[in-house]
Each structure stands twice: as C-alpha cells, then as structure tokens.
Amino acid sequence: MSNDTTRIAMIGYAFMGAAHSQAWRNVHRFFDLGTRPEMAVVVGRDAAKVDAAADRFGWAESATDWRDVIAREDIDVVDICTPGDTHAEIAIAALAAGKHVLCEKPLANTVAEAEEMAAAAATAQGRGVRSMVGFSYRRVPAIALMQRLIAEGAVGDIRHVRGQYLQDWITDPEFPLVWRLRKEIAGSGALGDIGAHVLDMAQFVTGQRIAGVAAQTETFVRRRPLLEGDGALGAATAGGGGEMGEVTVDDAAVLLARTDGGALGTFEASRFATGRKNHIVLEVNGSAGSLEFSFEDMNGLRYYDAAAGDRAGFTRIDVTEPTHPYVGAWWPAGHGLGYEHTFVNQAADFLEAIATGADPTPSFADGAALQRLLAAVEESASHDARWTAVL
C-alpha cells in the first residue's frame, strides 16, 4: 500500500457487492482519509457476469479465481461479499497473504469457522494486518449517536432492550429456493441474515453482551420450487421443471435474552412479516430515560428524559447536525442520509484504521462472539426454548 493509494479486491458482486462498490467509489470524496481506495479488481465465478459487474460498478479489472487475486502483490485489501459458506477459506487465505480483510456478516456459518477466522486475524494483527466484520448498521448516524448517548448516561441503568428486524420478501410460497434458504450455503435463515444485525446493534449501543437466551424458530414454507437462474435476491425465478426442494433454514426467530449487565431483552427477526420491507426497530429503556430508533425514520432518534417531570415526553432528535457521528462529512444540517451511506461510513472507518495502524471494530473476535450467540439461539430453539447460556 502506498501512502496515497489502497488497492481493493472485492470478491462477490451481487447485492452486497453493489453496496460495497459505491462505498469504495465515493468514500475518499467525502472523508479525509490520507489514502485513496483504488477499485482494482472484482472477482466472481461467471466470467461474463463479473466482467459486466466490473463495468457497471467501476472496477478496473474482473477475475474468476480469488486465489490468484489474493496472491497478487498489488492488492492491499480483500473485501468479501460472498455467501457465508466461503468466508472462512477466503478470509484466512487473504490474511495469510498479508491482505487487510473486510468480511460481510455473519462472519461465518459455524462457530468453529468463526473462531478459526478470529485466530487467523489475531495472528495477522501481529504483522500489522487489519480485519473487520461488515455490520453496516453500526454506521447509521442515529445508531452511533444512540451508542454515544447511552455511554454518557442518558438512559441511566439499562433495564430493557428490544429489537425487531422484519422483512416479507419470501412470503409467497412460490418464491424459489434461492441460496439464502439453504443452510449449507447461508448457515441460517432470518436469524443470521437479519437477526444478526439487530443483535449486534443491541450489544453495540448498550455496551453489554447478551449472556443467555430462550428462543424459538419456525420455517413456515418448508418446500419451494427449485431455482432457475443465479439466485440473486429479487432476480430469481422458479423454473426447475416443477421440482421442489427443501428449505433448510429458519423463516423467523424470536427470543428472550438477558445481558451481562442484568437487562432483559426481547428480539424478533422474520422474513415473513407481510408488509414489512426492511423494518428495524431498537429501543432501550433505563432508569433515567429511553431511546428508540426506527430505520423507517433513519435520520431521527426518539429520546425520553425522565427528569423532565410534567414536561416529559418522547422528543425526536434530528440526527443531521455536523457534531453527530459521521454527519460532518456529508451534507448541511437537515439533509438526511440513506442506506447506501452506511457502507461509505464503514469504508471510511476501515481505511482510517489501516492508515493509522488502529484496530477497526467490529473485529473478527467480535464476529466470532456474535456467531456463538447465534449458535445459542439455535441450540435453545432445538430444545423448545430451553434457557441457553451464550458461551
């Protein structure tokens, strides 16, 4: 890596690849980082499709063999945007090759894989090689402000944490058996795909770890038409000649939780919440007040100050001031940000950590800890909501 250029190789080019591409393309235009990312090469299995993706998203080259790419001396960062079943192999090889690694969440499909990745990251860290898990919702300014306010004591002692992440894109039983519905590729269903986000957000804003859970999961549609096409979310079509395949992941997960700080938590993740497209709500209640975030109003935060007496009531904080997290790099006050900006903010944090020699967060160790939490949820659900400690 030169002082002014960081060369990026991105592996995977579908939904997350598109989001990450626009982040690498724009981050240096808004954040003063001391380095400029160069979109060197994008990697995918289908030569024609990855070449088209390179042209569309602005990558200088395309390639079909990630092993060849991470062996290149001119690559500084490997950005992993593939399904979970490939994360461990790619990340471990990239770290061993001395590449900084940004890996999409969840870190892996199993605890064993995640812990192996975390160990590889710890070894690489000793050589100055950085790694981070892509929990992009931490970079929503309102969520980052929520974390700051709670750390400053705005809600007092935390008593309740509740979170929801609801979607409805597979409510149609004729929707095909895409990779996200196959455990051997995705690892889990709504739990790992979207539940992981809200669980990470809850632990991030409170500074407390979920220590135990009692959970249930459900698969509402257990057989779906086999896939014709590449299985990209939103582009897949059924066409397997009328053949059906087994759905091997959960469609929804609900859980009770207790944190290591003594708070009670309730969480829900579902891809069967009819009418909900990307509905995320996180609320924290404490002895001195409450904070609530809704992604449907992502540039706002609602705050209740119990000390306000007969003037108390939930007040909306407009999270667009330059003093709010990340906002100062963007537009004047009152001009909100969107989903895509979270990935730019994430890229900025990662590049700044590399440039300054800092350890970015969430780390691979954080990702492995989240994987243990997901495993505890699955273990509890497999035993009819038995209380299960998070190891």
Distances (CA, A) of 188 to 85, 86, 250, 377: 11, 14, 6, 11
**Which among 97, 122, 137 is the end of a domain?**
137
> For the chain, how many structural domains are there in total?
2
Tell whether 108 and 241 lie within a shared domain. Answer: no
Tell whether 242 and 257 lie within a shared domain. Answer: yes
Task: With beta carbons less than 8 A apart as the criterion, state whether 264 and 256 touch.
Answer: yes
Tell whether 148 and 122 lie within a shared domain. Answer: no
- Identify the CATH number of the domain in which residue 234 sits: 3.30.360.10
Q: What is the pTM of this model?
A: 0.95
For 23-39, what is each residue's pLDDT tens digit?
A: 999 999 999 998 999 99
What is the average pLDDT across 8-18? 97
What whole-number distance in Å separates Cα of residue 344 and Cα of residue 107? 20
Tell whether 235 and 376 lie within a shared domain. Answer: yes
Domain assignment present for residue 387? The answer is no
pLDDT of residue 234: 36
Tell whether 92 and 149 lie within a shared domain. Answer: no
Domain assignment present for residue 153? The answer is yes
Tell whether 157 and 290 lie within a shared domain. Answer: yes
For 67-115, what is each residue's pLDDT tens digit?
A: 999 999 999 999 999 999 999 999 999 999 999 999 999 999 999 999 9
- Identify the CATH number of the domain in which residue 100 sits: 3.40.50.720
Tell whether 17 and 35 lie within a shared domain. Answer: yes
Domain span at residue 25? 5-137
What whole-number distance in Å separates Cα of residue 34 and Cα of residue 28? 9
What whole-number distance in Å separates Cα of residue 326 and Cα of residue 145? 10
Nearest partner of 77 among 61, 95, 63, 53, judged by Cα: 95
Tell whether 325 and 215 lie within a shared domain. Answer: yes
What whole-number distance in Å separates Cα of residue 69 and Cα of residue 62? 10
Tell whether 187 and 226 lie within a shared domain. Answer: yes
Domain assignment present for residue 163? The answer is yes
Tell whether 177 and 282 lie within a shared domain. Answer: yes
Asked if the model's pLDDT at residue 46 lies above 60, the reply is yes
Asked if the model's pLDDT at residue 220 lies above 90, the reply is yes
Task: With beta carbons less than 8 A apart as the criterion, state whether 164 and 134 touch.
Answer: no
**Residue % of the chain over a pLDDT of 90:** 95
Domain assignment present for residue 345? The answer is no
**Which among 97, 113, 137 is the end of a domain?**
137
Tell whether 72 and 190 lie within a shared domain. Answer: no
What whole-number distance in Å separates Cα of residue 66 and Cα of residue 52? 17
**Which among 137, 165, 182 is the end of a domain?**
137
Domain assignment present for residue 357? The answer is no
Tell whether 108 and 148 lie within a shared domain. Answer: no
Domain assignment present for residue 241? The answer is yes
The bridge status of strand 300-305 relative to strand 289-294 is: antiparallel
Domain assignment present for residue 310? The answer is yes
> Cα–Cα–Cα angle for 331, 301, 134, nearest 5°?
70
What is the average pLDDT across 224-234? 63
For 319-376, what is each residue's pLDDT tens digit?
A: 999 999 999 999 999 999 999 999 999 999 999 999 999 999 999 999 999 999 999 9
Domain assignment present for residue 89? The answer is yes
